[in-house]
Amino acid sequence: MEKINFIFGIHNHQPLGNFGWVFEEAYNHSYRPFMEILEEFPMMKVNAHFSGPLLEWIEENKPDYIDLLKSLVKNGQLEIVVAGFYEPVLAAIPKEDRIAQIELLKEYARKLGYEAKGVWLTERVWQPELVKSLKETGIEYVVVDDYHFMSAGLSKEELFWPYYTEDGGEVIAVFPIDEKLRYLIPFRPVGKTIEYLETLVDSDPSKVAVFHDDGEKFGVWPGTYEWVYEKGWLRNFFDAITSNEKINLLTYTEYLKMFTPRGLVYLPIASYFEMSEWSLPAKQAKLFVEFVKDLKKEGKFEKYRVFVRGGIWKNFFFKYPESNFMHKRMLMISKAVRNNPEARRYILKAQCNDAYWHGIFGGVYLPHLRRTIWENIIKAQSYLRPENRVIDVDFDGRKEVMLENENFIATIKPHYGGSIFELSSKRKAVNYNDVLPRRWEHYHEVPDAATPEEENNEGVTSIHEFGKAIPDEIKHELAYDWQLRGILQDHFIGVNESLDSYRLVRYHELGDFVNQAYDFKINENSVMLWRNGGIYVERKIPVRIEKNIELTKEGFLAHYRVSLETPYEVLLGVELNLAVHSVMEKPEEFETSEFEVNDPYGIGRAKIELDRKAKVWKFPIKTLSQSEAGWDFIQQGVSYTLLFPIEKELEFEIKFKEV
């Protein structure tokens, strides 16, 4: 009888730093019921990847589940597929760290009773150079999307077999995931998947259809718990697959023992189709969505989609400078602590992928995920001897000044307003300036994603198919920043401007200091910065700002001297953006010479002391991002702008003290 081989896989992951209740909910709604139902069907085989952070949580909180996994492995129902332990994008970390990450998860797989030979590629981010790293760890196959193969020029009809790929003389097998199955399972009725698989039945005994996708689709994504479990989709699916004589269920290793991959291919740098939209800069992403829609409307998408490509995953480091800075800080310390096992474990944790990018999930927009990355970078750096350096941290061709003592790390960008863009506490392991600005994203205007799937009213809606309108209450508070958000950013503001006009970016910036270059000179524990700029009113009035930033045991001390060449009544605003996550409902305006920040959810307590009274404008920085549930209007931090009236000359001090 002619058959179709079928490989079924899931990928289960929760990022480091995610809330305990999220782990608990995902476990109860997906991870636990899925495996319990699998146990009911001894003929069903699943290829499963569990990320390290999730396994560590399960081992601590649900140890019985580990026993269930061991039992399923022993029964031959479960093949363990590994990745980097802390779920890094392997292409974004050094080769030495890739090997360490994979070995850690392979070791855990051995504890489950399985010698893993395959890799689930995180976010399916492929780079040809990965072949050498994978081979070095004893990996024999890797799972990517059929989109990777189509990007290399293969037709859809050629994508029902694994292939070999090579780099530098090393060879590995590559399995293509069938995109059609990704959109059918589990969102459409079981019969639709069976019907599709039966169309693939062939006289070639090596032909195979592969499904491997997020385990969270089976109970965590909106509407799926009721559909998959309460309405019986999963039981019906397992029953239909195992009882159909035309479907031959295999694991990856079983397939490779029976058949040889079809030939040699060379895959380009790629991820899945949706990622090529998300990774584009916002304006280009909007055009990409419009382009896909136009092709669909004209009935040309299926014919030409093999040539439709957007961005690559590493574009996120261009799209989000904060992500790039965090990533390059991680790389910097990774290199420095490679021979220190304790420090290195923190850096491996700091490579967890989720906080570095953003698509349908919150990612970089979620402060608690970024906070965990920074926590581990800081802890790793704490093993090194403190030193001051002038170095291009983020590889943008312009040098930063990094001041460091036993308690703090301050990274200052002279080329961007002479402002602090990292103020890390070693005692608390927090970065006080981990604040994302308010950015326009393409989905603020384009509610529908550029998915390859057509609309369908059967089953349950995938999160990729949701159309979303921004609620009116958010629209009223929505603003987009023209600058990155640092500490000690120097504004010149008209005396008649209001807090509302300022916070909603409806005011006129009179000076040219916020994002412009300062000259600098580094001293023993401080840096002197100065700029000869101006304010622009009826004419340009030359202005000089000098600020000396000294790192102290408690935080920092900033000494300012400001002078206008011609008298003019204006407000100097020195802005401090702090990663405060205790929700602030309304903006505030007050006058003081000192105030305290109290944020039990993030940076803890800190005190700002001035040598004179100043008016303070305080407001939350809230970003609008999409998520699997709809819209997230998230507080990234709080802006504190200290306002000093000036007409000709001004000198003052700002002291930041950790409490």
Q: Which of 123, 322, 441, 490 is catalytic?
A: 123
Q: Which of 170, 214, 254, 396 is catalytic?
A: 214
Where does residue 198 fall: left (phi above 0), alpha (psi -120 to 50 degrees), or beta otherwise?
A: alpha
202 annotated active-site: no
- Report which residue type is found at 14: Q
Residue 186, preceding bond cis, omega within 30 degrees? yes
How is 542-575 classified by DSSP, letter by letter? EEEEEEEEEE-SSEEEEEEEEEESS---EEEEEE
Please state, in angstroms and rounded to a whole number, the distance separating the CA atoms of residues 248 and 217. 24
Contact 464, 448 (CB under 8 A): no
- Report which residue type is found at 63: P
Beta-sheet pairing, 649-658 with 400-404: unpaired
Joined tokens for residue 502: 């300022």
Residue 655's closest CA among 607, 621, 602? Answer: 607
Radius of gyration of the chain (CA): 27
Q: Collect all residues with Cβ–Cβ distance below 8 Å to 199 and sequence separation of at least 6.
A: none
Residue 243's closest CA among 420, 472, 44? Answer: 44
Contact 513, 417 (CB under 8 A): yes
Residue with tokens 């999930």: 361
Residue 172's closest CA among 131, 122, 127? Answer: 131
How is 25-91 classified by DSSP, letter by letter? HHIIIIIHHHHHHHHH-TT--EEEEE-HHHHHHHHHH-HHHHHHHHHHHHTT-EEE-B--TT---GG
569 annotated active-site: no
Please state, in angstroms and rounded to a whole number, the distance separating the CA atoms of residues 325 and 319. 12
Residue with tokens 């969270």: 216
Joined tokens for residue 171: 């060879």
The SS3 assignment for 634 reads strand
Active site residues: 123, 214
